[in-house]
């Protein structure tokens, strides 16, 4: 596969997902992933438990925006059903959720106070904080999107690693 050919990896979402079936049983898939993780030439590391695995860039290549892929696999009629989710490290994801929630809560309070003053026919300077808070909320979304772009090459490497493990091309959804 050409290293520049990544058309099938759609990264138009903050947290791309994968879902596919493979002919390997969960036990075979577990062994195969474990075998591939032990190869010195791969560009990622991981942890694997029965039915579950997490892949991430090598520690020396990691930065704040480094992604990880978490997959689970279960027995299906034809082998294994694999589901996965790309995303930032849990601490980064938790931080963004906290900021989204905090800014959303403050925006709601500012909007309620402003509308209360407006319904009483009085001017309120707090009204002008609502558009500012909405801009901060949108800029946080932009920061998350840019962070994904910084980790794009690592996402591609992890994706290719999984494709090599299962021996097939995998589309993101």
Q: Where are the domains of the chain?
A: 17-88+151-166, 92-147
Choose which CATH entry (3.40.50.2300, 3.30.530.20, 3.40.190.100, 3.40.640.10) describes domain 17-88+151-166.
Answer: 3.30.530.20
Nearest to residue 154, comparing CAs of 60, 67, 28? 67
* Of 83, 88, 99, 93, nearest in space to 152 by CA: 88
Give the pLDDT confidence score for residue 12 in this predicted structure. 58
**pLDDT given at position 1:** 43
Distances in Å between the Cα of 11 and the Cα atoms of 7, 15, 33, 52, 171 are: 10, 8, 24, 23, 11
Q: Which pLDDT does position 3 carry in this prediction?
A: 46
- Residue 173 has what pLDDT? 82
8 A C-beta contact, residue 38 and residue 59: no
> Cα(26)–Cα(49) distance, rounded to whole angstroms?
11
Q: pTM value?
A: 0.81
Stretches where the chain sits below pLDDT 50 are 1-5
Q: What is the pLDDT of residue 171?
A: 87
pLDDT at 9: 62
As a whole number of angstroms, the distance between CA 50 and CA 117 comes to 58
Tens of pLDDT, residues 131-161 = 999 999 999 989 988 888 898 899 999 999 9
Span between the terminal Cα atoms of the chain, in Å? 20
């Amino acid at each position: 596969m050409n290293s520049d050919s990544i058309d099938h990896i759609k990264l138009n979402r903050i947290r791309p997902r994968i879902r596919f079936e493979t002919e390997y049983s969960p036990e075979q898939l577990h062994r195969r992933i474990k075998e591939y993780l032990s190869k010195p030439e791969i560009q990622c590391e991981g942890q694997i438990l029965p039915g579950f695995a997490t892949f991430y860039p090598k520690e020396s290549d990691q930065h704040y925006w480094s992604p990880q892929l978490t997959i689970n696999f279960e027995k299906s009629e034809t082998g294994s059903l694999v589901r996965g989710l790309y995303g930032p490290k849990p601490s980064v994801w938790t931080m963004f959720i906290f900021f989204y929630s905090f800014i959303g809560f403050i925006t709601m309070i500012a909007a309620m106070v402003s509308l209360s003053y407006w319904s009483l026919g009085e001017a309120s300077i707090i009204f002008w904080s609502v558009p500012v808070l909405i801009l901060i909320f949108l800029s946080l979304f932009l920061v998350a999107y840019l962070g994904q772009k910084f980790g794009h090459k690592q996402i591609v490497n992890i994706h290719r690693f999984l494709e090599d493990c299962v021996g097939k091309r995998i589309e993101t959804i």
